[in-house]
Amino acid sequence: MPELPEVEVTRLSFASRITGARIQAASLGKPLRWPLGCPCETLTGRTVTGVRRRGKYLLIDLQPSGLLLMHLGMSGSVMFDTHLPPPGRHDHFDLVTSQGTLRLHDPRRFGAVVYSADEQQEPASKLLSGLGVEPLGGQFDALAFHRALKDKKATIKQVLLAGQVVVGVGNIYACEALFMAGIRPTLRAHRISRPRAERLHAAICQVLAQAVAQGGSTLRDFSNAMGQAGHFQLAAQVYDRSGQPCRHCQTPIRRIVQQQRSTYFCPDCQRP
């Protein structure tokens, strides 16, 4: 599923091109996870003033008021172009603007596009309120990160995926960051020392920044709004490499299952 780097890569690929565009029409296909929350025609005439990201949500700011929250779900992707073909069976939202059409393509329909009057009102406030600190922003502090881990008894991999301490560190990037920090994914979060927490903090920042720079990860069909695939998966140290030798010590990479998600780690490089 698209994780934070893929969502950020998507945002970067169309934000500047759609900013300043006037909405000419909007249309929905098959129902998504949540209803849009307003009649499509009420979006007509508004102007897109910018595109932000919060966790895995794209926030499309509108004038004179309102915003659209877009989530890519398990299999979603976004296209933005001046000449898109007619919507297909897996195209579920079109926002036609003076600068091109923004389209949500989602074969599994776990994605969503939701209208909110502003960020402080529902549904935006409800969807965004439980999210942790942004790892790519200046608010992600190493000391505060360690303090937050001290309150968590779950395994560190589970804490990272939950998104309440730090948002957007999905399965691929949690595995890679834990490997870079030398921490076993089964270690209980509250047992992580401050030096190890600081190494993990730095690893999270480095792995996510590297993933964004490489266009995210394309494991199946992810592409950005210009149709370009990501390449981070080619540089993965442990993710999806079960049985293959560790690139550092040659020990076979191990795979376990945590909360129905595959976890990959090196039993030699990553200590409990």
Query: Domains in the chain and their CATH numbers?
Result: 4-128 (3.20.190.10), 142-265 (1.10.8.50)
Instruction: Kindly state the helix (H) or strand (E) to which residue 257 belongs, with its residue range.
Output: strand 254-258
Choose the catalytic residue: 3, 6, 8, 176.
3
Choose the catalytic residue: 2, 5, 135, 185.
2
Of 214, 247, 254, 213, whose CA–CA distance to 233 is shortest?
214
The label of the residue with tokens 């993933």 reads: 211
Average pLDDT over residues 28-47: 96
As given in the structure block, the two tokens for residue 162 are 């939950």
Helix (H, G, I), strand (E, B) or coil at 51: strand
Cis peptide before 135 (omega within 30 of 0): no
- At residue 219, the pLDDT reads 65
The label of the residue with tokens 């200046």 reads: 138
| Strands of the chain, DSSP E | 23-28, 47-54, 57-63, 67-71, 77-81, 91-97, 100-105, 112-116, 254-258, 261-265
Percentage of residues of the chain with pLDDT beyond 70: 99
CA 45 – CA 64 distance, rounded (Å): 9
User: Average per-residue pLDDT in the chain?
Assistant: 94
> Known catalytic residue: 261?
yes
CA 129 – CA 163 distance, rounded (Å): 11
Q: What is the pTM assigned to this prediction?
A: 0.92
Whether the per-residue pLDDT at 62 is higher than 90: the answer is yes
Cα separations in angstroms, 94 against 6, 100, 104, 197, 211: 20, 10, 7, 43, 28
Average pLDDT over residues 119-143: 94
> Known catalytic residue: 122?
no
pLDDT range class, residue 220, cuts 50, 70, 90: low
Choose the catalytic residue: 46, 53, 56, 103.
56
Which pLDDT tens digit goes with each residue over 169-192? 999 999 999 999 999 999 999 999
Whether the per-residue pLDDT at 1 is higher than 80: the answer is no
CA 212 – CA 4 distance, rounded (Å): 9
Cα separations in angstroms, 40 against 23, 28, 106, 263: 11, 8, 19, 42
Average pLDDT over residues 98-120: 96
Choose the catalytic residue: 188, 254, 255, 261.
261
> Known catalytic residue: 2?
yes
CB contact at 8 A, 128 and 54? yes
Percentage of residues of the chain with pLDDT beyond 90: 88
Whether the per-residue pLDDT at 230 is higher than 70: the answer is yes
HSE, side-chain direction, 13 A CA sphere, residue 105? 18
